[in-house]
């Protein structure tokens, strides 16, 4: 007639499903991933190794990410991390910047390389119609940034 002692109506026992979510394991995994990305992110931006000259010029501020053209200690030219010849430089740069012709281009030249080689690269890009070309130097405190453009009439 009635329910047995210790049982509730409806046939269910004393155990109810738990609706709480334990977030501690998820937080642990997220913290491990955060540490991994914090350690590996600086390693991914290394690019081509060059010994930049030091200067006291202030870095140029900009909104977009510039393209990097590097002249290494052997005189080889690189677009980002891809080695190119001088004949391939302009066509590849035009192909890369076809969607965005106002892309800033930073030229990084090793301080041991002949100044004429760096100027050859800069002149080639300027003659091809790239207007936003800057030289990159290393700030004396160790930061890397583009050199401040010279003012007209300055000596």
In this predicted model, what pLDDT tens digit does every residue of 95-144 receive, in sequence order? 887 777 677 888 888 888 887 888 888 888 888 887 788 887 777 765 55
Higher-pLDDT residue of 145, 126? 126
Separation CA 64–CA 111 (nearest Å): 26
DSSP symbols for 67-92: EEEEE-TTS-EEETTEEE-HHHHHHH
User: Sorting pLDDT into bands at 50, 70 and 90, what band is 28?
Assistant: very high
Residue 128 near residue 93, CB atoms below 8 Å? yes
In this predicted model, what pLDDT tens digit does every residue of 67-95 receive, in sequence order? 888 888 888 888 888 888 888 888 888 88
Separation CA 117–CA 89 (nearest Å): 14
Residue 53 has pLDDT above 60, yes or no: yes
Name the pTM for this structure: 0.51
User: Sorting pLDDT into bands at 50, 70 and 90, what band is 153?
Assistant: very low
Q: Which residues pair with 71 in a beta bridge?
A: 77, 109
The two three-digit tokens of residue 14, written as one number:
């004393």
Domain 54-146: which topology? Nucleotidyltransferase; domain 5 (3.30.420)
Note the helical H segments in the chain: 24-44, 86-96, 115-127
């Amino acid at each position: 007639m009635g329910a047995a002692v210790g049982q509730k109506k409806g046939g269910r026992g004393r155990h109810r499903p738990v609706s709480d979510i334990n977030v501690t394991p998820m937080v642990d995994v997220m913290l491990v991933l955060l540490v991994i990305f914090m350690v590996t992110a600086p390693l991914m931006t290394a690019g081509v190794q060059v010994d930049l000259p030091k200067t006291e010029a202030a870095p140029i501020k900009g909104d977009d990410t510039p393209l990097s053209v590097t002249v290494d200690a052997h005189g080889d030219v690189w677009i980002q991390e891809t080695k190119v010849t001088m004949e391939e430089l302009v066509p590849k740069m035009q192909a890369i910047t076809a969607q965005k012709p106002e892309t800033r281009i930073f030229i990084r030249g090793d301080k041991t390389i002949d100044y004429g080689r760096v100027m050859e690269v800069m002149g080639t890009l300027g003659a091809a119609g790239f207007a936003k070309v800057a030289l990159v130097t290393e700030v004396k405190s160790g930061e890397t940034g583009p050199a401040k453009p010279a003012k007209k009439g300055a000596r």
